[in-house]
Amino acid sequence: MQGVSKDYAVQMHGITKYFGPLRVLDDVNLDIKKGEIHAILGENGAGKSTLMNILYGMYNPDYGKIYLNGQETYIGKPSAAISQGIGMVHQHFMLVDKFTVLQNIVLGNETTDFFGVLNMRKARKKVIEIIKKYGMKVDLKEKVKNLSVGMQQKVEILKALYRGAEVLILDEPTAVLTPMEVDELLETMQNLKKDGKTIIIITHKLKEIKKSAETCTIIRKGQFIDRVNVADETEQSLAEKMVGRQIKLFVDKKEMTPGDTIFEIQNLSVRCERGIETVKNLSMKIRGGEIYGLAGIEGNGQTELLQCILGRRYADSGKIIMHGKEIQNTNTRNVLDSKISFIHADRHKYGCILDMSVADNVIMEKYREKPFSVNGFLNHEERDKFTKQIIETYDVRPAKCRHQKIRNLSGGNQQKLVIGREIANNPDLLIAVQPTRGLDVGAIEFVHRMLVNLRDQGKAVLLISLELDEILNLSDKIAVIYGGEIVGEFDQKEADEHKVGLLMAGGKGE
Amino acid sequence: MLSSLLIALSITLMYSAPLTLAAIGGVISERSGVVNIGIEGMMSIGALTGAVVGYFTHSAWLGLLCAGLAGGVLALLHAIASISFRADQTVSGIAINLIGPGLAMFLSRYFFDGASITYPVPEKLPKLAIFSYLKGTPFANFNIDVSVVLALAVVVVTWFVLYKTKWGLRIRALGEHPAAVDTLGVPVYRSRYACVIMSGILAGIGGGTVTLAVISQFTPIAISGQGFIALAAVIFGKWKPWGAYGACLLFGFSQALVIMLDGGVLHVPSTILAMIPYVLTILILIIFVGRSSAPRASGVPYEKGAR
């Protein structure tokens, strides 16, 4: 803890917060100098977002004091935070899709003439000044739903600046960006810093902390661990402080020993619901004992490709072949029966039924098979036995969760259950889509190890991810999808961030 | 020919006024993110209150005011259930639809010696003879209810507020993404309360115009599905004030048809004719419900900090 002084833009001392009986923050200290970029590092559920939501007035702390510029203050609600110069860009963007950029920016802080009648022209002038000052490129007339994620983030930052934010909180800002958008964001952050703004960045990505932040506060399980100068630390040391144990940041895996082709797609074309051909003449071959990584920016046909493999969308032409048998245009059950398993990107939407128990979720695909059901009657004992086994094998916490709703588990534990369930199917091909989305370093390490294990057993893995690092780290073969086509295919050794990133963005290979 | 056209127009406007008032109420509520299927119940209580107050005070205007208040009170119940307690908005709305007519019937029997029909109000809402200076033409006899003007005024004001003022911008944002509004420091619950209560007031006034302008007393069938027709108009009108108004004119016209065709040359049984507005409602819902896009957060209770 540092002494209270007006050199510090934000100081939060002894912050404690309970959610019901659960203590999510325990005597946490945060000291942030004016004009610096400060990172808050911690695993999921460590309490980073809660801490920042307290600063932004979304929650009230149970104990502890907040000082802004050396003055003790009470925040209590977002409007008070805004008026004291605090702005926040939430992890899930707070934008109204159907509104234009300008409408989103002024919402809640409108310029009006009389009786609340809007004066958008005045507002536009003010926003354009800000845009020019920080060199951001945004079309104010465009509807937010037509913008890329990176663009939407800029709108969020503009929203905060429009309200006169001096302290800007960015909650997991890079989670959804492409590599190029990340660079752009880091540049914007530097511009803001030059102008004297203070920036707080919440993240669990070590690389970006090293690139952008000067100081870093580390939180683990709701407790303050350390406040460090980023320059004195390595990615490794930061990671270990965050997780509290030794950790491997890089996947180590044996040389691959590829087998025969297990899964093949030949000249597949698929249309999206609007009738546009979003997968065009796509072909790929995946061998046993190989992790095949498909890199690409969201919206380049991955969704339709997956739905088509899963039997939820018709193929216009082309073949999907598993173990020499065509499975396109059949149905989902047939696909699953041909020894393909899925880990969906959105485990809340597809992977789990959130309001059902852990045990019921675990037998979701097997409920109709013996021994889980006999003559149409469920056997709950067998279900519970099987669930217990998965919970133990995959170290799901809390260990006695099988009758709890799966909603109450953390994201990492939900994912462990899903992976456990799918691997228990003994698939020959596992399709993992964004399998580490929203997970922290510890859980990511686990998921990656599982995928590599499967590969080492001679199974095929198709990894589809928006995280380029993950693809590059894990895959034996890397393909890039752009505009529904495979625009490049590399062995792991030949691929690098630059080459693949360029293709992802629609650039031509050399 | 001209005079029967004018009569048709006059009836259309008269019947569409209550629908319009109620439908605009629906637009406001849904735009703020709260589904209000309780409009029927709110109209019923408004119709009864209007008739009772109109009868006892001899003032149709006072009756109309109280009809609005009665609808507002019922809407407050819906707001408490669906906003503060995050109840299922459909269930709460159905409860309102059961309470409204039941309570109206009970009160009617209470005030009028066990009769389910109230005495006629001594004074209805005034009619405006807008073309009275055209003496000797069919236009001279053309008059419209003051409720028609009121309904049109409500449409104009609502459109202006929703699209030209900061309150409107916030209401529309509430129906799409309440968390966004919350993080910008605008109170979500309070704003939704205001919109739901306003919706009840308008539905109540709509009900009041039925018993104070269209017919002159409350009967058990004074409000028989108008609230649901108004809801259909909200959807058909794409949650927009002018759209809803257009839809209400169409429904009003179908009621005018019922009256114009009855006893005419066609000899269609009046019971069949009476079905026209409802059949039209169903047809329109079948055709348009799937295609129109409701405010995204409509019907979803807002919970602070929910994931």
Mean pLDDT confidence for A280-292:
93
Return the DSSP state at A406. G
**Looking at the predicted structure, is the pLDDT value of residue A27 above 50?**
yes
CB contact under 8 A, B176 and A99: yes
Amino acid, single-letter form, for residue A294: L
- Position A181 confidence tier, pLDDT thresholds 50, 70, 90: confident
Average pLDDT of every residue of chain A: 89
- Compute the distance between CA of residue A241 and CA of residue A442 in angstroms, rounded to an integer: 12
pLDDT of residue B290: 65
Amino acid, single-letter form, for residue A163: R
- Most B CBs within 10 A among A107, A352, A410, hence the mutation to make, goes to A107
DSSP chain B: -HHHHHHHHHHHHHHHHHHHHHHHHHHHHHHTT---TTHHHHHHHHHHHHHHHHHHHS-HHHHHHHHHHHHHHHHHHHHIIIIIS---HHHHHHHHHHHHHHHHHHHHHHHTTT-SSPPPPSSPPPEE-TTTTSTTSGGGG--EEHHHHHHHHHHHHHHHHHHHBHHHHHHHHHHH-HHHHHHTT--HHHHHHHHHHHHHHHHHHHHHHIIIIISSS--TTSSSSHHHHHHHHHHHTTT-HHHHHHHHHHHHHHHHHHHHHTTSTT---HHHHTTHHHHHHHHHHHHHTTTS---TTTTPPP-TT--
CATH for A8-243 is 3.40.50.300
CB contact under 8 A, B185 and A78: yes
**Looking at the predicted structure, is the pLDDT value of residue A92 above 90?**
no
**Looking at the predicted structure, is the pLDDT value of residue B307 above 60?**
no
Q: Which two tokens stand for residue A263?
A: 């899964």
ipTM reported for the complex, 2 dp: 0.87
* CA atoms within 13 A of residue B113's CA, in its CB half-sphere: 1
Mean pLDDT confidence for B15-32:
96
For residue A111, the SS3 value is coil
- Compute the distance between CA of residue A304 and CA of residue A313 in angstroms, rounded to an integer: 7
**Residue ranges of chain A that CATH labels 3.40.50.300:** 8-243, 251-339+428-510
pLDDT of residue A510: 47
- Position A427 confidence tier, pLDDT thresholds 50, 70, 90: very high
- pTM of this prediction? 0.79
Task: Please say whether the beta carbons of A422 and A362 come within 8 A.
Answer: no
Lowest-confidence range among B14-23, B44-53, B163-172, B268-277? Answer: B268-277
DSSP A253-313: -PPP---SEEEEEEEEEEE-TTS-EEEEEEEEEEETTEEEEEE--TTSSHHHHHHHHTTSS
Count CB neighbours of A357 within 10 A: 17
Per residue in A268-301, is it b (16+ CB within 10 Å) or e — as a string? bbbbbeeeeebbbebebbbbbbbbbbbbbbeebb
- Position A77 confidence tier, pLDDT thresholds 50, 70, 90: confident
Cβ neighbours for A97, distance < 8 A, ≥ 6 positions apart: A143, A144, A145, B176, B177, B296
- Compute the distance between CA of residue A157 and CA of residue A353 in angstroms, rounded to an integer: 35
Mean pLDDT confidence for A378-403:
88
The CA-CA-CA angle for residues A179, A506, A349, to 5°, reads: 65
* pLDDT (tens digit per residue) in A302-325: 989 999 999 989 999 999 999 999
Pick the CATH number of A251-339+428-510 from 3.40.50.300, 3.20.20.140, 3.40.50.2000, 3.60.15.10: 3.40.50.300
**Looking at the predicted structure, is the pLDDT value of residue A467 above 90?**
no
CB contact under 8 A, A96 and B304: no
Shortest CA distance from B183: residue in chain A: A78
Count CB neighbours of B291 within 10 A: 8
Cβ neighbours for A96, distance < 8 A, ≥ 6 positions apart: A103, A104, A107, A144, B172, B173, B176, B177, B180
Amino acid, single-letter form, for residue A509: G
Lowest-confidence range among A293-297, B241-245, B259-263? Answer: B259-263
- Position B239 confidence tier, pLDDT thresholds 50, 70, 90: very high
pLDDT of residue A44: 72
Residues of B in contact with A109 (CB under 8 A): 184
Residues of B in contact with A117 (CB under 8 A): 164-165
Higher pLDDT: A179 or B56? It is B56
Burial of A395 (0-12, 13-18, 19+ CB in 10 A): exposed
Task: Please say whether the beta carbons of B302 and B178 come within 8 A.
Answer: yes
The angle that helices B241-261 and B146-164 make with each other, rounded to 10 degrees, is: 160
- Taking only Cα atoms into account, the Rg of chain A, rounded to an integer number of angstroms, comes to 25
> Shortest CA distance to A304 belongs to which of A361, A334, A265?
A265
CB contact under 8 A, B169 and A106: yes
Residues on B contacting A at a C-beta cutoff of 8 Å: 164-167, 169-170, 172-173, 176-177, 179-186, 296, 304-305
CB contact under 8 A, B170 and A108: yes
Average pLDDT of every residue of chain B: 90
Whether chain B has a CB inside 8 Å of the CB on A506: the answer is no
* pLDDT (tens digit per residue) in B40-51: 999 999 999 999
Lowest-confidence range among A137-151, A331-345, A389-403? Answer: A389-403
Mean pLDDT confidence for A485-503:
88
pLDDT of residue B261: 81
Looking up tokens 């003879």 gives B129
Return the DSSP state at A209. H
pLDDT of residue B85: 93
- Torsions phi, psi of B33, nearest 5? 100, 10
- Compute the distance between CA of residue A163 and CA of residue A100 in angstroms, rounded to an integer: 18
Q: Which two tokens stand for residue A129?
A: 């000044």
Task: Please say whether the beta carbons of B20 and B244 come within 8 A.
Answer: yes
CB contact under 8 A, A90 and B165: no
- Position B274 confidence tier, pLDDT thresholds 50, 70, 90: confident
Q: Which two tokens stand for residue A53?
A: 């939501």
The percentage of chain B sitting over the pLDDT mark of 90, rounded to a whole number, equals 63
